[in-house]
Structure 1
Amino acid sequence: MVTAVFNDAELRQRAWDVAAGVVDPEIPVLTIADLGVLRDVTVEDGCVAVAITPTYSGCPAMNMITLEIELALEREGFRNSRVRTVLSPAWTTDWMSEDGRRKLRECGIAPPQAGSGRRALFGVQQVTCPRCGSKDTAVLSEFGSTSCKALWRCKSCREPFDYFKCH
């Protein structure tokens, strides 16, 4: 419990800001807020509860993210905080921030297109190369460097790149 005098709204905002700064261990250029994994922060009797939603139900990073949130909150004076995983509604790439999409592009990962979400599962995807901007790309493997990414190749610049899969 935080001992300074703050009302619940101030505590919630402080806790949100702390949790929002936690990075994804698999893609450390992104925070959990960038990804849309951070869903809610509540305060009850001075204790903080953080709700997170995994990018998919088997995401191996969730245990580390939970631990990092707990440690970050503890360092900022939040005692007895808890983190819970919320599976419904299921996470979608539509929850990613525009800043998160920009960060992905800047580190060479093609971000999911805004608004594509689960609908991309039912149609032909057109993925833009994060290096040269060409739309002349092709999937090499549905399995990339992490479970949430696929391996693509640009036919123009011939470079391979990861694509953050739409969910």
Structure 2
Amino acid sequence: MHMSTPLTIDRVYQCLATVMDPEIPVLSVVDLGMITGVELAGSAAVTVKMIPTYAACPALQFIQRNIQVSLERELQVPVLVQVDAATHWHSNRLTAAARQKLEAFALAPPPVSGKVSAEILLHTPCPHCGSKDTYMRSPFGATLCRATHFCKNCGQLFEQFKPLE
């Protein structure tokens, strides 16, 4: 950061948008809706409040450390990253850009929904061809936040980012 660049919440969010998720490297912590707040202590320090996408996320400490290191390097101030215990992540926190990035990454995004149902999980549109002629092969994918599906139309196996209320 140049000495003339002021420390603002917008600047912090710009930097956070460059901190990528280690399990889905096309999505930032901002895309995922993991950031619940940013506080500035004048121009001397930053506190970031964040939430994991899943309570048992094994990457939580890794993500916290990436946020701290990236922001301290870019902003040149001490950064504290806290888990926001009052807020719980749900899949509707994903940004519209995140949903597009997931599809481009061949990972089906979760539907925007108020309730998770069997229909949502069973007939997920294929990110390869768009067909809804799919079925869930396993509720477990490569990570806790993914399920494995198969497309009967194009024959591709794909994962879906699981919806979570």
TM-score by length of 1: 0.89
Query: Structure 1, residues 33-79: CA drift from partner, whole Å, max 9, x if none?
Result: 11111221110233100011111111111111111111111111332
Q: Which amino acid aligns with 2:110?
A: P
CA deviation after TM superposition for structure 1 residue 5, in Å: 6.2
Cα distance in 2 for partners of 1:26, 1:101 equals: 15
SS of residue in 2 equivalent to 1:89: coil
Cα distance in 2 for partners of 1:15, 1:155 equals: 44
Cα distance in 2 for partners of 1:101, 1:141 equals: 22
Cα distance in 1 for partners of 2:149, 2:118 equals: 17
Change (3 A) 1:87 1:56: farther
Cα distance in 2 for partners of 1:31, 1:77 equals: 18
SS of residue in 1 equivalent to 2:8: helix
**Pairing of 1:45-64 with structure 2 (within 5 A):** 45-46=42-43, 47-64=45-62
SS of residue in 2 equivalent to 1:32: coil
Percent of pairs with identical residues: 36
Q: Which amino acid aligns with 2:141?
A: G
SS of residue in 2 equivalent to 1:124: helix
The residue number in structure 2 matching 1:75 is 73
The residue number in structure 1 matching 2:10 is 13
| 1:127 equivalenced with 2:124 (yes/no) | yes
The residue number in structure 2 matching 1:143 is 140
Match of 2:151 among 129, 150, 154: 154
| 1:23 equivalenced with 2:20 (yes/no) | yes
| 1:85 equivalenced with 2:83 (yes/no) | yes
In the alignment, is the contact (CA less than 8 A) between 1:11 and 1:43 conserved in 2? Answer: yes
TM-score by length of 2: 0.90
In the alignment, is the contact (CA less than 8 A) between 1:20 and 1:38 conserved in 2? Answer: no
Cα distance in 1 for partners of 2:47, 2:34 equals: 14
CA deviation after TM superposition for structure 1 residue 123, in Å: 4.1
SS of residue in 1 equivalent to 2:9: helix
Moved more, 98-107 or 68-77: 68-77
- The count of corresponding residues between Structure 1 and Structure 2 is 161
CA deviation after TM superposition for structure 1 residue 20, in Å: 2.1
CA deviation after TM superposition for structure 1 residue 3, in Å: 9.1
SS of residue in 2 equivalent to 1:79: coil
Q: Which amino acid aligns with 2:162?
A: K
Cα distance in 2 for partners of 1:165, 1:35 equals: 13
Cα distance in 2 for partners of 1:3, 1:34 equals: 26
